[in-house]
């Protein structure tokens, strides 16, 4: 039996501000934007090519805005993603890699190149480059 992780809640203070960030700056697709009642709104977005979505909500859970941690996206080309994100106005750090425990600027080896950014509430994201596969 398969188990699929399909939705992760991202705690935010202002759903509209967060929706604009994820849609316009990161390029996530808006799957739905559903006001449930006067205090609950659910916005589901999916990163390009992902089987897992995020849900931004107000009034749905008790998690404090910005309290999420450990979100990681994996991409084929970190430099292309860096260019796309900065072109959309996202505040993204420079590409970095690790040599042992030491963080260094620039691209590294297999599974070793990263970007870091945070949403408007401070929820941190890491973007990691997967190794290039032989054709």
Higher-scoring residue by pLDDT: 19, 100: 19
Contacts of residues 97-101 at CB distance under 8 Å and 24 or more positions apart, as own/partner, are none
Whether 64 is in a domain gets the answer: no
Give the tens place of pLDDT for each residue, 53-105.
999 987 788 889 999 999 999 999 999 999 999 999 999 999 999 888 898 99
pLDDT band, residue 40 (cuts 50/70/90)? confident
CATH no. for residue 85?
A: 3.10.180.10
* DSSP, res 64: P
- Predicted local distance difference test score (pLDDT) of residue 132: 64
Whether 33 is in a domain gets the answer: yes
- Beta strands of the chain (E only): which ranges? 7-11, 29-35, 41-46, 53-58, 71-75, 96-99, 102-105, 113-118, 124-129
Residues 19 and 45 in one domain: yes
- Predicted local distance difference test score (pLDDT) of residue 29: 98
Residues 91 and 125 in one domain: yes
Residues 12 and 54 in one domain: yes
Containing structural domain, residue 92 = 71-129
């Amino acid at each position: 039996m398969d188990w699929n992780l399909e939705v992760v809640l991202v705690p935010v203070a202002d759903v509209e501000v967060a929706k604009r960030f994820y849609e316009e700056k990161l390029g996530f697709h808006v799957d739905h934007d559903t006001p449930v009642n006067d205090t609950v709104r659910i916005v589901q977005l999916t990163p390009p090519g992902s089987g897992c979505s995020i849900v931004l909500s107000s009034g749905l859970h008790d998690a404090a805005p910005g309290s999420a941690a450990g979100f990681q996206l994996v991409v084929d080309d970190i430099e292309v993603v860096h260019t796309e994100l900065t072109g959309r106005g996202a505040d993204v750090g420079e590409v970095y890699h690790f040599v042992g425990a030491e963080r260094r600027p620039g691209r590294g080896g297999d599974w070793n190149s990263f970007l870091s950014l945070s949403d408007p509430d401070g929820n941190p994201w890491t973007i990691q480059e997967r190794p290039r596969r032989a054709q």
